[in-house]
Each structure stands twice: as C-alpha cells, then as structure tokens.
Amino acid sequence: MTELDFIAALRALATQPSARGLSDDAAVLEFGTETLILTKDMMVEGVHWLPQQSLADVAWKLVAVNLSDLAAKGAEPVGVMLGYSLATNNAAFLTGLEEALTAFDVPLLGGDTVAVEKSRTFSLTALGRATHTPVPSRSGAQPGDHVWLCGSAGGAMMGFDAVSGLADADERPFTRPTPRLAEGRALAPHVTAMMDVSDGVLLDAWRMAKASGARFAIDSASVPIAAPESRRDEALRWGEDYALLFTAPSGADLPVPATRIGTVMEGGPEPLVLDTKIIDGPEGLGYQH
C-alpha cells in the first residue's frame, strides 16, 4: 500500500468531512451546547526542523501551528495535549513550550512522554471552542466573492534562509510564528471560507478553490510579501507563514486589516488562475506533504 493509498483509506475511514486524510485541517464537532474544534499536528526530527535549531523553537512552533489551525476556524483555544519523545535537550523544549503557552494563553492539559533513542516525534492535539457557527470551512467560497489574505507570504522563507546562514534576515517568522487567533475570531462571522496558509499561498488557494468547487483568480502582484521583490515567485510558494486566506462577499466590511488578492469565479476544470494563466494541477505551487 502506497502512502497516498493509505491516506486515501484513512480519509475514507474518517467521519469528518474536514479530516481531509488527516492533514492540517481541524475537526469540528458538536459537543453539548458548544462546538468543539480539534487539530493535531506532528513535528518529526529530520523533517520539520533544522539541526541547528533549538528545541525551544520546535516547541513554540508545535504549539503555534496547531493554534493556527484553530485560528482558521475562528476558535478560542481551550487547551493542548502533548506527545513528547524524551531524549536530550528537554530543558530547551520546556522553555519554548512554556513561552508559547504563556504567549497564546492556552493551558497544557496532559499528554504522554516516551523515552526514545532514535528519531524524535513530537505531537500536539489542540482543543478549541468555536466562537461563531457555522464554523468557517475551506469549502464555502462562492463565485463573486473576493479572495483575501490577512498577513503576508515569504517571511518564513527569509527566516529559514537566516537560520541556514544564507540571508541576513529576521529568523523569527520561521522560528517563532504567531497564529492569528484574534484575527480568525474577528473574521469568522464575515467569511465564506477560511484556512491558514501552511503550505504556500498559491497551493492553499488551489486547495480552497478545489474544496469549494470554484476557481480562484489570483493576482500575484497583489499578494503582500515579506521578502525582496526578486523572490516574489518563491515567496508565494513557500509555506509556514500562517497568514489567513479567506473569501468574503464583495461588499463585506472586514474587521481586521487584510489584502485582496483575487476573485472567486465559477468552477472550471482547474481551480486556479494565476495572473490570467490557468494553472495545470497543484505541482510546483507550494509545499506538498
């Protein structure tokens, strides 16, 4: 069984339409009088961080990326459950974990630790409470809506280059990303679709358009980037910036600063049009897991 087959089979097994094969979308669950939002992201040694990075950054990011999934649902964080591989540098991890929990005001509820010798895996399940229903999904974009970005693209790319010694830039957009929790909550009542940009603006726009059965026309020059103009193309394909990508009706009065980057059109065979060019499949648009 190939990995793609496995993910497809898991997707079939999952009861949540949003589970998307256990990817980075959150689960939405009615629970008593409340709506519960659940998300789980893992970080694996050798895959998700550079050897020179501190585990304090890894811990921070583990919290941040999960909370970013909650932000995209307009959810208020309730707590996190940690899965931790015990080995070296535990103190650094703990420092970053505590910093993130404090910064985002979210409690550690519990979890599990296992001592390991080889490659380490950290996982986190974050729990949130919906602040607005229906909870924003990726599939609600309607023809005529505008496509918006709250945040920018390319900052994490520059930070990655800085950590790698390739650029003189701020490392923090890569090492210490900030989930846009307040913006997500404020936007939730106004959007028709919303997701956090973890794998690149263009790829995530392609995915949202496809999930909505629509076609997005994106104007690449309008996307705000936190990188030199010469690297715009790369910036639009680099992930980990955790901006919020959303669609809203054309007359929407948005409560937070955001930049319009495109328009939703009737669905066609391909879900993305970039600067009037129809994009032929998601390859090359961003980071594919």
Both tokens of 28, joined, read 């939405």
Q: Judged by CB under 8 A, does residue 129 bind a second copy?
A: yes
Contact by Cβ (8 Å): 164, 226: no
Q: Judged by CB under 8 A, does residue 26 bind a second copy?
A: yes
Report the nearest approach of a second copy to the CB of residue 3 (Å).
Answer: 5
Q: Judged by CB under 8 A, does residue 112 bind a second copy?
A: yes
SS3 17: helix
The window from 12-20, 150-158, 176-184, 213-221 that contacts a second copy (CB under 8 A) reads: 12-20
SS3 35: strand
Nearer to a second copy by Cβ, of 94 and 256: the residue is 94
Nearer to a second copy by Cβ, of 114 and 221: the residue is 114
**Interacting residue with a second copy among 50, 116, 221, 278 (CB under 8 A):** 116
Q: Judged by CB under 8 A, does residue 32 bind a second copy?
A: yes
Q: What is the DSSP letter of 225?
A: B
Report the nearest approach of a second copy to the CB of residue 115 (Å).
Answer: 6
Q: Please list every residue from 213 through 232 that binds a second copy, using CB under 8 A.
A: none
Q: Judged by CB under 8 A, does residue 33 bind a second copy?
A: yes
- Determine the size of the site formed for a second copy (CB under 8 A): 69
Q: What is the DSSP letter of 11?
A: H
**Interacting residue with a second copy among 78, 167, 186, 265 (CB under 8 A):** 78
Q: Tell me, what amino acid is at 50?
A: L
Nearer to a second copy by Cβ, of 9 and 50: the residue is 9
Q: Judged by CB under 8 A, does residue 269 bind a second copy?
A: no
Residue closest to 104 by CA, chosen among 50, 179, 30, 216: 179
* 81 backbone φψ class: left, alpha, beta (φ>0; ψ -120 to 50): beta
Residue closest to 140 by CA, chosen among 55, 227, 259, 245: 245
SS3 66: helix
The window from 11-19, 150-158, 182-190, 276-284 that contacts a second copy (CB under 8 A) reads: 11-19
* 196 backbone φψ class: left, alpha, beta (φ>0; ψ -120 to 50): beta
**Interacting residue with a second copy among 105, 117, 229, 283 (CB under 8 A):** 117
Q: What CA–CA distances, in Å, run from 77 to 130, 134, 192?
A: 9, 17, 22
Q: Judged by CB under 8 A, does residue 119 bind a second copy?
A: yes
**Under 8 Å CB-to-CB from 145, ≥6 apart: which residues?**
192, 193, 247, 248, 249, 250, 263, 264
- 2, with CB counted inside 10 A (0-12, 13-18, 19+), is exposed
Nearer to a second copy by Cβ, of 98 and 234: the residue is 98
Q: Which residues contribute to the site for a second copy (CB under 8 A)?
A: 1, 3, 5-7, 9-10, 13-16, 18-27, 29, 31-34, 36, 38-42, 44, 46-48, 78-79, 81-86, 90-91, 94, 97-98, 101, 107-119, 121, 123, 125, 127, 129, 289
